[in-house]
Structure 1
Amino acid sequence: MPVYNGMPFLPETLDCLLNQTESNFELVVVDDGSTDATPSILAEAARHDRRIRVISLAHGGIVSALNAGLAAARAPLIARMDADDLCLPERLALQRQVLEADPELGLVASQVAYGGDAAVNRGFALFVDWTNGLVDPRDIRLKRFVETPLIHPTVMFRRECVTRFGGYRDGDFPEDYELWLRWLDRGVRMAKLPRELVTWREREDRLSRVHPRYSETAFYRCKAEYLARYLCEEAGPHRRVAVWGAGRTTRKRAAFLAEFGVTIAAFIDIDPRKVGQRIGGVPVWDKESLPDPGDTFVLAYVGNRGARDLISAHLEERGYREGRDYLLAA
């Protein structure tokens, strides 16, 4: 659990962790150079509970704090937690049971309760609903290029994943999303418990809201490398790649793929003003003129949730199969 200036939520978070039904754990807290009362709160808590181990660093940011925690952790299973979130008493026990029961799983997350104002932050609340719906390993794997399929402070994973595939990377991208994409790319199976074991607080100063590494452009650039790898493996050299959506935003998203060697053969659009035209030298097809799936792999690069459902239904009707012949992205 990394923490930087954790007041006023840190005491409540510590309390929910120290009262887990699974008592056999060590809580590694990485204090990232806090300047508020965080150090004294942690010192006092560690005096009363020997399971707490505090690592104090000069302020270096979230990635260095996370990796310091990984390096210090000694258990074969590692759970993540943020210093301003809450979890149910049975969280660690339930996730441990899942990993011990299925040796093929490398990571298990949970659903989250949205700890914010859903009316004010409707987009964020809709994202929580969407990610809560991804439970099965197949859904997590296939939907990973839409948005991040896992909420970071809900995960528990095997130390072996870190040893084999590396920990958090520092750069102009969201460190957790990059980790999931890299591990999934290497074949790590991930699942999610269909229970809201963590309450994810929504705060205006949350890093995912204020730091440029979590900007919309950073997400596009981050996923492009791994999406290009997926297209290379699934589409192969014998199939063209067509992008569904010819609008400016979709073209901007697709442009990142060119940096990793993906050539867009066509755009697909329902706007009659675009169909039959060429945009940036790329032809725009009508959805009804799609070739057979054996000829073309479709990347549905449309951000609207309802539109993605309609696109998926149309492609399935045409014989395309998700993952094999098309992929939803955003």
Structure 2
Amino acid sequence: MSKPLVSILVPFKNTDAFIAECLDSILNQSYSNWEAIFVDDHSDDDSYTIVERYAEKDTRINVHKNEHSGIIDALKTAYQHSSGTYITRMDSDDIMTPIRLETMVTNLEIYGRKHLAVGQVKYFRADGLSDGFARYEKWLNSLTVEGKNYSEIYKECVIPSPCWMLHRKDFEACGGFNSNVYPEDYDLAFRFYKANYICIPCDKVLLYWRDYSTRTSRTHEHYAENSFLDLKVHYFLELNYDASRPLAIWGAGHKGKTLAKILLKENIPFFWICDNPKKIGKHIYDQELYNFDYLAELQHPQSIVTVANSKAQKEITRYFESQKMQSMVDYFFFC
């Protein structure tokens, strides 16, 4: 019985320092029935030439030019040239572990349609990894090992963009790369969540995720904090918000204020609570700030928490649990 074809979609732009390592990691896969479709998003370095050289030696590698501009259009172009039963994405500056494709295909063949294969990730950086990325890696892997990625989807992107795979029909059913919303990886993760595709638990590292100062996710305006918050609010209002219940915002820092402005613009009523004595009783954007115990006066409320401090988050979680409130139903952490 022949093995299903996997389409690996790889947009790239000016990554000639790393793209050969990416290509080598694909060639070194234990699973051999794949096609790698690289799309050059107007590089002005040697990236295209490097991929072209590999394509001349292995017909499973194809390279195309992006007619338009941007990673979304590059992904659309790659998908148009794909024909695999399973679809996955790869970033041209990252490295697959040798078992990545085999592990994901095996999991999808076992669990079937409406499932999403994900894997553990390992960040690396030439001059040492920051504490922030180390915490993100640990947090993301703790969700992936149990397949509970959606349980904290409003915190950060819970599906690593270069480390997922699903059936072609499922990919198309949730819109594929047809959305023009940035950040495109987070938007896609929300659409997986909306479609109720179940994440398959995985305890194996399947991707080495490279970090460096000029990485797109660090420098492009599409990946700025406000873009993420706009996206979170959009999907919260669509998927989890219950307009029949009072809504409370926890926290009046920068993110809390930005969230308040978005909700006001959307004409969504809310109560605003915090634990800063200097702010309690004051008004911001004509909204009064209350002490956290004001929540008890609200009838069956929903809460969005914008408090980033991990210790404070644990205390807030304990409070919710003492009130018999459920995560992703009654309260949502937005950071």
TM-score by length of 2: 0.88
C-alpha distance in structure 1 between counterparts of 2:14 and 2:147, whole Å: 38
From 180, 194, 204, the counterpart of 1:170: 180
CA apart distance, 1:148: 0.8
Aligned to 2:330: 325
What does residue range 142-161 of structure 1 map to in structure 2 within 5 Å? 142-161=151-170
Q: Do structure 1's residue 314 and structure 2's residue 319 form an aligned pair?
A: yes
Aligned to 1:225: 234
For 2:268, give the aligned amino acid. V
Q: Do structure 1's residue 267 and structure 2's residue 272 form an aligned pair?
A: yes
1:145–1:223 CA contact under 8 A, matched in 2: yes
C-alpha distance in structure 2 between counterparts of 1:242 and 1:192, whole Å: 33
Which structure 2 residue ranges, 5 or more long, are not aligned? 1-9
CA apart distance, 1:214: 0.3
2:273–2:294 CA contact under 8 A, matched in 1: no
Q: Do structure 1's residue 213 and structure 2's residue 222 form an aligned pair?
A: yes
SS of residue matched to 2:204: strand
C-alpha distance in structure 1 between counterparts of 2:27 and 2:128, whole Å: 33
From 86, 89, 108, the counterpart of 1:80: 89
From 297, 301, 305, the counterpart of 1:300: 305
From 55, 64, 79, the counterpart of 1:46: 55
C-alpha distance in structure 2 between counterparts of 1:247 and 1:38, whole Å: 42
C-alpha distance in structure 2 between counterparts of 1:294 and 1:191, whole Å: 37
1:240–1:297 CA contact under 8 A, matched in 2: yes
Aligned to 2:263: 257
Aligned to 1:123: 132
Aligned length in residues: 325
From 56, 67, 74, the counterpart of 2:65: 56
SS of residue matched to 1:291: helix
From 83, 94, 100, the counterpart of 2:103: 94
Aligned to 1:280: 285
Aligned to 1:36: 45
RMSD: 2.3
Of all paired residues, the percent bearing the same amino acid is 29
Change (3 A) 1:138 1:272: farther
For 2:210, give the aligned amino acid. R
2:113–2:167 CA contact under 8 A, matched in 1: no
CA apart distance, 1:206: 0.7
CA apart distance, 1:321: 1.3
Which structure 1 residue ranges, 5 or more long, are not aligned? none
CA apart distance, 1:268: 2.1
1:34–1:59 CA contact under 8 A, matched in 2: no
1:104–1:189 CA contact under 8 A, matched in 2: no
Change (3 A) 1:192 1:277: same
SS of residue matched to 2:25: helix
Aligned to 1:241: 247
TM-score by length of 1: 0.90
Change (3 A) 1:286 1:119: farther
Question: What does the per-residue CA deviation read over 1:70-109, in whole Å, with 9 as the maximum and x for residues that have no partner?
Answer: 1211112111111111111110000111111112543222
